Amino acid sequence: MPQIAQLSETITSQVFWLLVFFGITFFVIGRGMVPKIMQTVADRESQIGADLTAAKAARDAADQQEEAWRVREAQNRDAAHAIVTEAKGNAAARSQDVLATAQARFDQEVEAAEIQIDHARREALAELETVATEAAQDIVAKIANINVARPEAHRAVQEALARG
């Protein structure tokens, strides 16, 4: 077993070179490089954490804005609805007015026309009485050879018209 057989002649060399190379490894790799590698990992993790936090904040902000937009949208919709309702009301009122005015004017015209018609009828009736009276005088004069006085003939015509 060389480990024991060679112990006395090799132990100093073994210990010396182990301390040399383990020391180099410890100071160069363990103390020099490992902390940098771990720092890189820590930096990456903190960056990932910061990015996640930023993303979460951005999402929250977007949610908030969407909520605000939703509220604003609802308000706008209500406002628009109110405007439409008001315009409808206005239009209905205005058309009502116009219709009422037009109706009034029609009524007026119709009344005037009726008065006129009545007047014309009355005139025509009066004229009819005159014509009928003259015709009755003529007829009586021609048939019976009797001259009837005008008021008398007029009264007879009126009686006949009243009997209808």
**Site for another protein, rule CB under 8 A:** 1-3, 6-7, 9-22, 24-26, 28-31, 33-38, 40-41, 43-44, 47
Give the nearer residue to another protein in terms of CB position, either 35 or 89: 35
Alpha helices in 6-33 (DSSP H): 7-24
Compute CA distances 6 → 1, 10, 16, 18, whole Å: 8, 6, 16, 17
Please give the structure tokens belonging to residue 83: 């405007």
Give the nearer residue to another protein in terms of CB position, either 11 or 92: 11
Residue 137 makes CB contacts below 8 A (sequence gap 6+) with 147, 148, 150, 153
Give the nearer residue to another protein in terms of CB position, either 51 or 86: 51
In degrees, rounded to 5, the angle at the alpha carbon of residue 12 between the alpha carbons of residues 10 and 17 is: 95
Work out how close the CB of 57 gets to another protein at its nearest, in angstroms, rounded to a whole number.
21
Please give the distance of CA 22 from its chain centroid, rounded to a whole number.
83
Work out how close the CB of 27 gets to another protein at its nearest, in angstroms, rounded to a whole number.
9
Work out how close the CB of 58 gets to another protein at its nearest, in angstroms, rounded to a whole number.
20
Work out how close the CB of 8 gets to another protein at its nearest, in angstroms, rounded to a whole number.
10
Give the nearer residue to another protein in terms of CB position, either 43 or 66: 43
Under 8 Å between Cβ of 121 and 141:
no
Give the nearer residue to another protein in terms of CB position, either 14 or 130: 14
Work out how close the CB of 54 gets to another protein at its nearest, in angstroms, rounded to a whole number.
16
